[in-house]
């Protein structure tokens, strides 16, 4: 009798855990389906709308002598496919990076720009254009990635020395200080060089257009490494969010975990920013939506944030192509138009909770 009374609650608890896990798995599957649909729509939408049959021809049909079909194939292969792939890759990177930075800083309004990644990339772009005259994205994208990486390392290094080393607040202050300094230097250089100013104006908009696979594939390699590092650190983030003392007591090497985490964030955000320019608010938004859907468990929150980041960036790019046809709004502009009120709502909600 006593044994049965003990077993029943355990059975109910196991059933509840299984139900939650099943719901999360189904949610991931639904997000993948939405992403596939958005990808297909992205291939069809643009200055010239294509039917599903034309998209299929552009992807899989053999080369044709028909001029119209050849033109369709050219549009799909050289314009739409690279743009769609970049939106997915960059969206995943920024979504995962946003979730990680919020987890490591325990700051619900943190974004990847907190590490000075965007500012470092911008500074590197205008510097190499002003000094070397580079104008092709394939030339300066590597310097943008290097600038983002160096900025992240410097911020993390400054936050790791002296009193308050490793403290989330120290990391945030160091990141903001470096970002403000680099922004001032970027402005000074761009105002003194017209070519750098023009390139920065285009790159800062956060555009997915005009980037080919010669840039996308190498950037994807860096993002893949960042994703592997992110997956390795997920159990540690859950423990770190219980507090450093608790995490240390449970056997977490806090310094190593934070180092690997910052490396992952730098690779993800740096590579995505280098390829398509700074996309503000994306990581912030999708991390909060993912947390609402999954709860605080980062083993689920991070995959959800990655898929949501890809979906949101892809949908914003599609919307940008439609609202001002035959022209278009850059995806970064559309994301900012969506993200600004989202950020304001977060602040307002926080004030209501503290009232």
Between 165 and 204, the more confident residue is 204
Q: Does the pLDDT value for residue 5 go beyond 70?
A: no
pLDDT of residue 165: 57
Instruction: Please say whether the dihedral angle defined by the alpha carbons of residues 161, 167, 169 and 175, taken in this order, is positive or negative.
Output: positive
Q: Does the pLDDT value for residue 2 go beyond 80?
A: no
Q: Does the pLDDT value for residue 305 go beyond 90?
A: yes
Q: Count of CB atoms within 10 A of residue 355's CB?
A: 5
Q: Which range, of 30-44, 212-226, 307-321, averages the lowest pLDDT?
A: 212-226
- CATH code where residue 334 lies: 1.10.3470.10
In terms of Cβ atoms closer than 10 Å to its own Cβ (0-12, 13-18, 19+), residue 166 is middle
Q: What is the mean pLDDT of residues 139-152?
A: 84
27 domain-assigned: no
20 domain-assigned: no
Half-sphere exposure of 186 (CA within 13 A, CB side): 25
Predicted TM-score (pTM) of the model is 0.88
Q: Does the pLDDT value for residue 6 go beyond 70?
A: no
Q: Which range, of 25-39, 121-135, 317-331, averages the lowest pLDDT?
A: 121-135
3-state secondary structure the chain: CHHHHHHHHHHHHHHHHHHHHHHHHHHHHHHHHHHHHHHHHHHHCCCCCCCHHHHHHHHHCCCCCCHHHHHHHHHHHHHHHHHHHHHHHHHHHHHHHHHHHHHHHCCCCCCHHHHCHHHHHHHHHHHHHHHHCCCCHHHHHHHHHHHHHHHHHHHHHHHCCCCCCCCHHHHHHHHHHHHHHHHHHHHHHHHHCHHHHHHHHHHCCCCCCCCCHHHHHHHHHHHHHHHHHHHHHHHHHHHHCCCHHHHHHCCCCHHHHHHHHHHHHHHHHHHHHHHHCCCCCHHHHHHHHHHHHHCCCHHHHHHHHHHHHHHHHHHHHHHHHHHCCCCCCCHHHHHHHHHHHHHHHHHHHHHHHHC
Q: What is the mean pLDDT of residues 140-154?
A: 85
- Closest by CA position to 113, among listed 143, 148, 83, 82: 148
pLDDT of residue 65: 61
Q: Does the pLDDT value for residue 122 go beyond 80?
A: yes
Indicate the pLDDT class of residue 94, thresholds 50, 70 and 90.
very high
pLDDT digits (tens, 9 = 90+) for 27-46: 999 999 999 999 999 999 98
Q: Does the pLDDT value for residue 352 go beyond 70?
A: no
Q: How many structural domains is the chain composed of?
A: 1
CB 188 within 8 Å of CB 247: no
Q: Does the pLDDT value for residue 4 go beyond 60?
A: no
21 domain-assigned: no
pLDDT of residue 52: 85
98 domain-assigned: yes
Indicate the pLDDT class of residue 353, thresholds 50, 70 and 90.
low
CA angle 243, 245, 247 (to 5 degrees): 70
Give the relative orientation of helices 2-44 and 52-60 as an angle to the nearest 10 degrees: 90
30 domain-assigned: no
Whole domain around residue 200: which residue ranges? Answer: 48-349
pLDDT digits (tens, 9 = 90+) for 105-119: 887 777 877 778 888
96 CB-near residues (< 8 Å, 6+ apart) = 226, 227, 230, 268, 302, 305, 306, 309
Mean pLDDT taken over the chain: 84
170 domain-assigned: yes
Q: Does the pLDDT value for residue 14 go beyond 90?
A: no
39 domain-assigned: no
Indicate the pLDDT class of residue 350, thresholds 50, 70 and 90.
low
277 domain-assigned: yes
């Amino acid at each position: 009798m006593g044994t049965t009374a003990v077993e029943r609650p355990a059975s109910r608890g196991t059933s509840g855990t299984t139900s939650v896990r099943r719901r999360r798995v189904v949610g991931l599957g639904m997000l993948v389906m939405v992403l596939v649909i958005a990808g297909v729509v992205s291939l069809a939408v643009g200055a010239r709308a294509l039917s599903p049959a034309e998209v299929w021809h552009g992807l899989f049909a053999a080369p044709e002598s028909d001029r119209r079909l050849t033109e369709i194939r050219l549009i799909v292969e050289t314009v739409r496919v690279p743009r769609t792939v970049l939106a997915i890759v960059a969206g995943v990177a920024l979504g995962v990076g946003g979730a990680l930075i919020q987890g490591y800083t325990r700051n619900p309004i943190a974004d990847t720009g907190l590490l000075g990644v965007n500012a470092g990339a911008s500074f590197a772009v205008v510097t190499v254009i002003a000094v070397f005259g580079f104008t092709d994205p394939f030339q300066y994208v590597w310097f943008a990635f290097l600038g983002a990486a160096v900025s992240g390392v410097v911020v993390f290094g400054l936050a790791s020395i002296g009193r308050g080393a490793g403290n989330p607040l120290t990391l945030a202050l160091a990141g903001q200080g470096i970002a403000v300094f680099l922004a001032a230097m970027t402005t000074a250089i761009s105002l003194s060089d017209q070519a750098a100013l023009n390139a920065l104006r285009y790159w800062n908009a956060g555009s997915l257009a005009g980037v080919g696979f010669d840039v996308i594939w190498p950037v994807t390699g860096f993002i893949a490494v960042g994703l592997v590092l992110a997956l390795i650190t997920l159990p540690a983030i859950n423990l770190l969010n219980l507090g450093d003392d608790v995490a240390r007591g449970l056997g977490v090497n806090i310094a190593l975990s934070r180092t690997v985490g910052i490396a992952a964030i730098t690779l993800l955000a740096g590579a995505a920013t280098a390829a398509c320019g700074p996309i503000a608010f994306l990581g912030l938004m999708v991390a909060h939506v993912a947390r609402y859907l999954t709860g605080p468990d980062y083993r689920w929150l991070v995959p959800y944030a990655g898929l949501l980041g890809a979906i949101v960036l892809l949908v914003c790019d599609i919307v940008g192509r439609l609202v001002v046809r035959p022209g278009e709004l850059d995806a970064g502009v559309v994301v900012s138009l969506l993200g600004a009120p989202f950020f304001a709502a977060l602040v307002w909600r926080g004030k209501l909770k503290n009232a």
